[in-house]
Amino acid sequence: MKHLSILGSTGSIGVSTLEIVAGHPDRFRVVAMTAGRNLELFARQIRQFGPRIAAIASREDVPRLRELCAGLEVEILGGIEGLIAAATAEEAAMVVAAIVGAAGLVPTAAAIRARKDIALANKETLVTAGHLFMEMVSEYGVRLFPVDSEHSAVFQSIEGQRSQDISRIILTASGGPFLNTPSSQLAGVTVADALNHPNWSMGRKITIDSATMMNKGLEVIEARWLFDAPVEKIAVNIHPQSIVHSMVEYIDGCVIAQLGTPDMKAPIAYALSHPERVATGVKPLDLTTFSGLTFCKPDMEKFRCLGLAYRAINEGESMPAVMNAANEVAVEAFLGGRIGFVQIATVIERTMDAHRAHDLKSIEEVLLADRWGREKAREICLGLVN
Ligand code: NAD
Ligand code: MG
């Protein structure tokens, strides 16, 4: 029986994780879970999965959550201390890090320090503080399993191989809803258009990241740290069908890829059950039903965010954290109708232009860079509307 703590249980990844747990009550048990704001769903999950600890992001929500969970034997906590208590719950062997954004940093770091294995969905932790997280992973001797489908594919394609034999990691990208939209029409797209992802059903923030292709930029940075690969060896191929989840090319010319129906339950389950596999209910892949699987290079001029992510990782130090913060602010402003779609890249670029990259020696310093990036990006957003 593997005991799990799930950070972000009410999100898209959290809900899929719980579906897998519910399908395998003999293998997995939830001992702690956390949520942001969706109290009703969280209370239903607590009732169904019976964790010992349930933590909600805001302390103000604790009384209402206690009311909703009346009669249940659960310790209800709130605020960052509550999230940390859930992330470090004594019985948990593995923590599923599925909070969205830089808010996932502190609880995930606490879990590593408490020597929990990590199933990592929260890519922003590696984007903002990859070097610190990978150092902590080795210092505390924990295992880090990727949940992101591309990184799970790479992970599965390198098992049993020697890292010096890898010549390239090729991340695939669907290209999102605007793959075939001419650049000249991007300025007019709406929030609803951008949220309409062709292949994946995900949280709102990552769905917008997919539409701008910042998601793939974040994933290049994530891959750089997870697989200790120089960024020049990480390529991006557009593959609109999202069947090949990523590939690894070796020095002998062989390429190993992982394929499957696009459903996050598959990579989540592999992170939970590695090195074994468990049934997920994911629709079996029948390649004969496809008229073709296609691949092409991304249009870097149209998807400016992808280039900005390469720039951030090349400049290094605090730049990726600042870029990530600016992206979070810009995406929120776009979702709130305060800036247009193409202005997301503009806000990020101007924030990066205003930043002088510096060394980050601790998570606290990462959080300071994150705050700086947020403030600068908010200021730039205001300037754009006025
Ligand atoms: P989501 O928005 O659906 O869910 C996020 C979860 O985090 C929710 O439980 C929410 O309540 C909680 N949360 C939000 N803000 C919080 C805060 N400030 N403090 C504490 N909790 C907070 O997001 P998602 O799509 O499930 O994505 C989660 C993470 O996984 C992201 O980092 C995303 O990039 C990554 N990811 C998601 C997918 C996917 O298919 N959804 C795929 C790959 C990677
Ligand atoms: Mg992905």
> Which of 7, 12, 122 most suits a substitution to test ligand 1, by most atoms within 8 Å of the C-beta?
12
From the list 141, 135, 95, the residue with the least C-alpha distance to 118 is 95
Ramachandran sector of residue 276 (left: φ over 0; alpha: ψ -120 to 50; beta: rest): beta
From the list 107, 129, 16, 105, the residue with the least C-alpha distance to 55 is 107
Q: Is the CB of 3 under 6 A from ligand 1?
A: no
Q: At what angle do helices 204-212 and 214-226 cross, to 10 degrees?
A: 100
Query: Ligand 1, atom 30: nearest CA belongs to which residue?
Result: 121
Q: Is the CB of 102 under 6 A from ligand 1?
A: no
Domains and CATH numbers, the chain: 2-142 (3.40.50.720), 148-262+277-299 (no CATH), 316-386 (1.10.1740.10)
From the list 294, 279, 287, 285, the residue with the least C-alpha distance to 262 is 285
- Alpha-carbon distance of 313 to 37, in angstroms, equals 32
Q: Residue 120 in 3-state DSSP?
A: strand
Q: Is the CB of 347 under 6 A from ligand 1?
A: no
Q: Is the CB of 123 under 6 A from ligand 1?
A: yes
Give the pLDDT confidence score for residue 46 in this predicted structure.
98
Amino acid at 269: A
Looking from the CA of residue 218, the nearest atom of ligand 1 is 34
Query: Ligand 1, atom 13: nearest CA belongs to which residue?
Result: 36
pLDDT per residue, tens digit, the chain (386 aa), is 999 999 999 999 999 999 999 999 999 999 999 999 999 999 999 999 999 999 999 999 999 999 999 999 999 999 999 999 999 999 999 999 999 998 999 999 999 999 999 999 999 999 999 999 999 999 999 999 999 999 999 999 999 999 999 999 999 999 999 999 999 999 999 999 999 988 888 999 999 999 999 999 999 999 999 999 999 999 999 999 999 999 999 999 999 999 999 999 999 999 999 999 999 999 999 999 998 999 999 999 999 999 999 999 999 999 999 999 999 999 999 999 999 999 999 999 999 999 999 999 999 999 999 999 999 999 999 998 65
Give the pLDDT confidence score for residue 385 in this predicted structure.
67
Give the pLDDT confidence score for residue 199 in this predicted structure.
87
> Which of 5, 6, 10, 13 most suits a substitution to test ligand 1, by most atoms within 8 Å of the C-beta?
13
- Alpha-carbon distance of 314 to 316, in angstroms, equals 5
Q: Is the CB of 11 under 6 A from ligand 1?
A: yes
Question: In the chain, what is the straight-line distance between the N-terminal and C-terminal CA atoms, in Å?
Answer: 57
From the list 295, 182, 299, 280, the residue with the least C-alpha distance to 242 is 295
